[in-house]
A = this chain, B = another copy of it.
Amino acid sequence: MFEAKLQQGGLLKKILESVKDLVVDGLWDCDGAAITLQGMDSSHVALVEMLLRAEAFEHYRCDRNVTLGMNHNHLSKILKCANNDDIVILKAADQNPDSCSLILESKNGEKTSDFVVSLVRIDTDQLGIPETEYSAHVKMSSGEFQRICRDLSQFGDAVQITCSKQDVKFSSSGETGKANITLTHSATVDKEEESVTVDLKEPVDLTFALRFLNLFTKATPISDTVTLSLSQEAPLVVEYKIGDSGHIRYFLAPKIQEDEENE
């Protein structure tokens, strides 16, 4: 049997909101250590990987590894019925279940909602993500990153990210004009989550589709900060920590610059 009890249902709501627009059907792999979800968007350009360790749960029991094929739209409808402080319990039979069950309990114990969710069959191989040495890590406010991606979408389809020792620059251009947003590291910021830190091995200059970055920023409510890992040879990684017990990571290959100019 698999059974996992989460004290704060709101967390599962946020996780689902951050993956469902990118990946419709996803495989939730449950083993003794963690629940892992991996999936690609329908155009196979972006990848999301979610990890939630057993420690995140008040109660966690996994007798045998089980893989749950979830329709994220259905799951999202169910979680819309949850208050943020509802307890959420996920239950599934061993091996190849056809359905799993989700139980929501109100804090005062007066309201219990239980749902039977039909599972879907998904044929995908898990992708191994190779360890990569990145040229730059940028840690910044997740809200600021969301704001920048949304703002630049008004100007163009793509954003060029340029990192130097002192600052990180986001640029976009189109019919409306040309926009550059520059964030400078400052030691004098009071709130740690508002400061920008750039950890740079070598300068990078890469261009990404804003459409996907905007989907990634659906994870903003999960963490106050986001880390961008950039390298000329590897996909961008956009990572949101789930407290101390997990993360959501998005991967996106850069646009080839020549192609972009010919568009």
Q: Interface segment, A23-31, A122-130, A180-188, A252-260?
A: A180-188
State in angstroms the CA–CA spacing of A183 and B108 once bound together.
11
Asked if A182 meets B77 with Cβ closer than 8 Å, knowing A118-B177, A177-B116, A177-B117, the reply is: no
Bound: A117/B183 CA distance, A: 21
Minimum C-beta distance from A172 to chain B (A):
10
| A134-170 interface (Cβ within 8 A of B) | 144, 151, 154-155
A194 and B188 CA atoms in complex are apart in Å by 44
Contacts of A63 in B (CB 8 A): none
A64 CB contacts on chain B under 8 angstroms: none
Across the interface, do B110 and A177 meet the contact criterion of CB distance under 8 Å? no
A59 within 8 A of B: no
- The answer to whether A178 has its CB under 8 Å from any CB of chain B is yes
Residue A80 interfacial (CB < 8 Å):
yes
Within the complex, what minimum Cβ distance (angstroms) separates A70 from chain B? 11
Nearest chain B CB to A167 CB, angstrom units: 9
Encoded as 1 (CB less than 8 Å from any B CB) or 0, chain A from 61 to 99 comes to 000000000000010011011000000000000000001
CA distance A99 to B175 in the complex (A): 13
Contact B178 A115 (CB under 8 A): yes
Could you tell me if A113 and B77 are in contact, using CB atoms closer than 8 angstroms?
A: no
Q: Does A262 contact B (CB under 8 A)?
A: no
Task: Report Cα–Cα, A118/B184, bound state, in Å.
Answer: 27
CA distance A186 to B186 in the complex (A): 55
Indicate if the CB atoms of A154 and B80 lie closer than 8 Å.
yes
Q: Which residues of B contact A196 (CB under 8 A)?
A: 110
* A176 located at the interface, meaning its Cβ lies under 8 Å from any Cβ of chain B in the complex: yes
Given A151-B80, A151-B81, A154-B77, A110 and B179 touching (CB < 8 A)? no
A243 at the interface (CB under 8 A from B): no
State whether A109 touches B177 (Cβ < 8 A): no
* A111 adjacent to chain B (CB < 8 Å): yes
Q: List 22 A-B contacts (CB under 8 A).
A: A74-B176, A74-B177, A77-B176, A80-B151, A81-B151, A81-B154, A108-B188, A109-B186, A110-B184, A110-B186, A110-B194, A110-B195, A111-B144, A111-B181, A111-B182, A112-B181, A112-B184, A113-B180, A114-B179, A115-B179, A116-B178, A117-B177
